[in-house]
């Protein structure tokens, strides 16, 4: 009887060890999978940012050369009828400028911020005209040879809208709603 009881206890003890081993393997496997997911997410995010960083780097070089930009304050990527990269920055004379660069060809337009509608003014105009729930962002580019602010906003019904404003006059040009 003692042998049978000892055999049973040993069998239960072995099963407990097997269960513990399985638990350890599951935990180690989960940690490895979690680690791989984190590394993969970081890699995807990093690679997705590369085109933006490369465009900003190239635009900065053009702005330094064509407008003597010494300090970059902001970067905008505008996708209208054509793509433009815009830098807001300060030149060697300590003037605040917008340098708008056409993606294809590098054609450059330089605007003094004192003479045009600024980003914050474009957002204020959109807020006053459209009364959105929230302003998401603004981008400076060119449409039909005119500098424009494209202000993206969110409505109360969770739709997105785009409001195009002339960067010269501050007047409404185009509105795309309920996207």
- What pLDDT, in 10s, does the model give residues 83-114? 999 999 999 999 999 999 999 887 999 999 99
Residue 139: both structure tokens together: 């981008």
DSSP secondary structure of 63-126: HHHHH-EEEEEEEEEEESSSEEEEEEEEETTS-EEEEEEETTT--EEEEEGGGS--HHHHHHHH
Question: Model's pTM, two decimal places?
Answer: 0.73
Cβ neighbors of 74 (< 8 A, separation 6 or more) are 87, 88, 89, 119
pLDDT at 4 over 90: no
Per-residue pLDDT tens digits for 36-93: 999 999 988 888 878 778 888 999 898 999 899 999 999 999 999 999 999 999 999 9
Cβ neighbors of 119 (< 8 A, separation 6 or more) are 74, 88, 138, 140, 149
d(CA 51, CA 56): 9
Query: What does the pLDDT read at residue 139?
Result: 97
* Dihedral (CA of 50, 52, 58, 60) sign: negative
Q: How confident is the model at residue 16 (pLDDT cuts 50, 70, 90)?
A: low
SS3 174: strand
Query: What does the pLDDT read at residue 29?
Result: 92
Q: How confident is the model at residue 12 (pLDDT cuts 50, 70, 90)?
A: low
d(CA 166, CA 16): 74
d(CA 45, CA 33): 18
pLDDT at 6 over 70: yes
Query: What does the pLDDT read at residue 35?
Result: 95
b (16+ CB within 10 A) / e for 23-48: eeeeeeeeeeeeeeeeeeeeeeeeee
Per-residue pLDDT tens digits for 120-153: 999 999 999 999 999 999 999 999 999 999 999 9
């Amino acid at each position: 009887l003692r042998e049978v009881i000892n055999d049973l206890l040993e069998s239960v003890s072995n099963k407990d060890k097997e269960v513990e081993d399985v638990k350890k393997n599951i935990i180690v496997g989960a940690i490895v999978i979690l680690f791989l997911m984190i590394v993969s997410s970081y890699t995807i995010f990093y690679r997705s940012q590369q085109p933006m960083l490369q465009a900003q780097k190239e635009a900065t070089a053009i702005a330094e050369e064509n407008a003597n930009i010494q300090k970059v304050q902001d970067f905008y990527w505008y996708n209208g009828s054509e793509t433009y990269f815009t830098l807001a920055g300060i030149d060697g004379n300590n003037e605040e400028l917008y340098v708008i660069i056409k993606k294809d060809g590098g054609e450059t337009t330089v605007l003094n911020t004192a003479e045009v509608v600024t980003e914050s003014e474009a957002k204020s105009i959109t807020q006053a005209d459209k009364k959105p729930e929230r302003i998401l962002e603004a981008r400076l580019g060119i449409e039909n040879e005119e500098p424009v602010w494209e202000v993206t906003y969110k409505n109360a019904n969770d739709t997105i809208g785009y409001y195009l404003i002339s960067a010269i006059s501050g007047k409404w040009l185009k509105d795309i709603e309920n996207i």
